[in-house]
Chains A and B, each alone.
Chain A
Amino acid sequence: QVGKGELRKIPVPANRYTPLKENWMKIFTPIVEHLQLQIRFNLKTRNVEIKTCQETKDLSALTKAADFVKAFILGFQVEDALALIRLDDLFLESFEVTDVKPLKGDHLSRAIGRIAGKGGKTKFTIENVTRTRIVLADAKIHILGSFQNIKMARTAICNLILGSPPSKVYGNIRAVASRAAERF
């Protein structure tokens, strides 16, 4: 049983305001029904606020809900972010392209282009092979998945940033993923 009511606030940037409005049903339903928490969007402060109440059974529910909303705000789909609630061992990692290699101007743009691929092809390939979800927001990269998979995806993305061609990256991740699959 939770004692005092705890509150979490997640700020919403302007560009995610409309998607939030559109997906509000899908967001609050699992939080309220499955996690027994209270949620609201504070229009003045532009924050999503989640609060525990008397019906809340699990203390970790609040953290999960906060993570779920944060993932959506970052750019993930609701269904993908929902996995955070359903599975315990999923994590969210964020880093910047310039963390890997100091790039500026056109080089930076080219690196981002390499990561995305034509029509998002490369990004989707990495997602499919490593069973993760990637959000590429300008120079920021967010990866959602289990620990090992995040590692694989991160390696692939870093290789792309550092300049290796996509075909090579495909080969590598394929090999790694097959090895991981064999183990289990």
Chain B
Amino acid sequence: AVPGIVRIQTCLRVAGAAAARPECFLSVQDGLAADFRAMTKTLYDLNKRSNIVRGGPLKELMIENFDEEQIWQQLELQNNAVLDFFKKSIAKDAEDEDLCLLSDQEAEGSDAETSSDKEFEDNIMEAETEQMNVYTKDKHKTKAKEKQSKLKSKSLMQKYSDEDSDIDFDIEALEQQTKTAKETTLRKKGRKSVVDDKFFKLAEMETFLEHAEKEDKEEEDDDDDINYFEDIISDDEEDSEEAKVKPIKSSRDMTYKDFFDSVDDDDGDDDLVANDAEEDQEEEADSAIEEQNEESMSEFEDMDEVVEHMRSKEASKKVTFNLPDDSETEHVTEVQLEKEINPNEIKSSFEKRQEKMSKKIKSLEEALLEEKPWQLKGEVTGQKRPENSLLEETVLFDHAVRMAPVITEETTFQLEDIIKQRILDEAWDDVVPKEKPKEEAFEYKKRISLDHEKSKLSLAEIYEQEYMKLHQQKTEEEENPEHKEIQEMMDSLFQKLDALCNFHFTPKPPVPEVKIVSNLPAISMEEVAPVAVSDAALLAPEEIKKKNKAGDVKTDAEKTPTDKKRERRRKKLRKRMRQREKEQRQKLLEKMKPEQGTKLSKKAAAAKLKRLTKEGKASLLKDEGKDKALKSSQAFFSQLQDQVRMQIKDASKLKKKQKKEKAISVHKLKL
């Protein structure tokens, strides 16, 4: 046994030395490789000699001239035997009811009471060994240590490869320790409020609620969040640090202890809790015993949790919730704790400023990390923002339509100024009446006249003449300007001379410049026939008589009733106009020369007639009705009858009258 221990010590020394300089593992270390190989052999042989594990084909590990792969395979051959041994021993110990975990826990508890970091490491190591004891339930410490060492070596082997950097067991432990150091699991020492109780801390509740709210928001995004009440254990949990959930029991088996710390003591029985934790861990270990590496990891995690509990022993007893994301809150709590550590110191102004600054920075950072408010989130429908929140916002948007002008006093004054100025300038916006351009008759001539005869000129000559005309025009324009200039100059000169010599000189009215442009077509100009015969000088019918607005001249038969009515109206209008003119003339005449006027007027004539008839100089002709037109034979005969009767009457009257006259006239007898 003694040489065995010595050998183990040497192995540990070598491993420790190698682990102390982990940076050398970045390159291939042949010497160290040989050392490790020798170490492996010694350990293997030791184990074989101790005969704890029975079975296995190889008596000793062959390493000379053997490949890594071959060494591994040799070890692998041993695995089955070892596993069987473990199973048996654990089964045996599980049946053993005398054994319990309390004794071990007390030992752990006593160890964990020291809270320095250095001791922490040792605690981890010791706890680990005790864990091992728990697993194996073997009272032989040496054996356990051997197994532990073997396990260590095996885990080492599993991690060891030629080219990769070694993850030494101790290094692993160091890593774990640093991880755990970060995740300090202090229970909250938050603000104390009136409501606080043994169970209940207001500050804790608030943090928990905030936490829950955040998670509610994350639920939409994250489907991977763990459902607290599910039984599923994901593979990520065991590897990630955050999954510091206690080994999840099915919801049926949850008890008071899972939710709450024990009620009675503040310095309470974390042991109890730890016990429970460890029992759970043991159960888990049974199921997961084959995955040694992961076991070790989970061991550490569980260990950490146990340590957490131990640490929290210092804190007062409170209600705690089994949260998966405790790390965040614990960050905060740690910071808070640190702040409150120095409340009594007086701070310099610089420090105060610094504090304020850091607070501000922190708040800004938090604001940035948090979810943006709805105002900054692009298109927001009514459901996504709080009710009536838009009323409190000042919203800017583009108007597609030009806004109606706002009428203020200033604008009215401006308008009035414009109006006044316009009136002064007399710049009215009157509508200019449109005039229809009246085409005069002789315009017809100017248009191209249609010659219905064969042209006298040949085509060549026509084009020739056109060409000549074009060129002649050019020459004409060239000559004229000079003449014009001369003419103008002479005119001005003579005007000045006249003004000088003639006092009563009145200047001639400006002569409008008239340029006669012959617009007649070439054909009419070249009319060969004599002027008298040619009809070019003749007037067109439209020039003689203006065309009727209605159109063609119609006979009476062709006229429509509207045409007839129109004509009648026009006739009456003409007559009316003539009558008015006449009357006006008469009036004028009466005013100017009264005698002539009265002669001709109607009144004068009527008066004259009356006078004459009275006097007896004139007698009115009886209207016997002979002038009337006789339209029917009946009328004719009746009239005839009347006439005859009248004649007879007259005749009889005459006779009577004659008789009368004969009888009476004494005057005439002269008696």
Contact = CB atoms under 8 A, between A and B. Distances in A.
On whether the two chains bind one another, the answer is yes
Interface of A: 77, 79-80, 82-83, 86-87, 90, 117, 120-121, 124-125, 127-129, 131-133, 144-145, 170, 174, 177-178, 181
27 contacts: A77-B458, A79-B458, A79-B459, A79-B461, A82-B460, A83-B458, A83-B459, A83-B460, A86-B463, A87-B463, A90-B463, A117-B452, A121-B452, A124-B454, A124-B455, A125-B450, A125-B452, A128-B450, A129-B450, A131-B463, A131-B466, A133-B459, A170-B450, A174-B447, A174-B450, A178-B447, A178-B448
B337 interface: no
Contacts of B523: 128
Nearest to B458: A79
B67 interface: no
A127 B452 CA distance: 9
B462 interface: yes
Interface of B: 447-448, 450-455, 458-464, 466, 523
Contact of A131 (B447, B452, B453, B459): B459
A124 B451 CA distance: 7
Contact of B448 (A83, A90, A124, A181): A181
Contacts of B458: 77, 79-80, 82-83
A140 B451 CA distance: 24
A128 B451 contact: yes
Given A128-B523, A129-B448, A177-B448, A87 B460 contact: yes
Contacts of A82: 458, 460
Given A90-B459, A90-B463, A129-B450, 9 more contacts: A79-B458, A82-B458, A117-B452, A124-B451, A125-B451, A128-B455, A131-B459, A131-B462, A174-B447
- Of residues B451, B460, B462, B463, which shows the largest number of chain A Cβ atoms within 10 Å of its Cβ? B460
A120 B462 CA distance: 20
B459 A145 contact: yes
Contact of A79 (B450, B454, B460, B466): B460
B446 to A, nearest CB: 10
Contacts of A117: 452
B447 A124 contact: no
Contact of B452 (A124, A133, A145, A178): A124
A132 B459 contact: yes
A174 to B, nearest CB: 6
Contacts of B464: 86
Contacts of A133: 459
Contacts of A128: 450-451, 455, 523
A78 B653 CA distance: 109
Contacts of B453: 121, 124
A28 to B, nearest CB: 17
A120 B453 CA distance: 8
A174 B462 CA distance: 18
B454 A120 contact: yes
A67 to B, nearest CB: 14
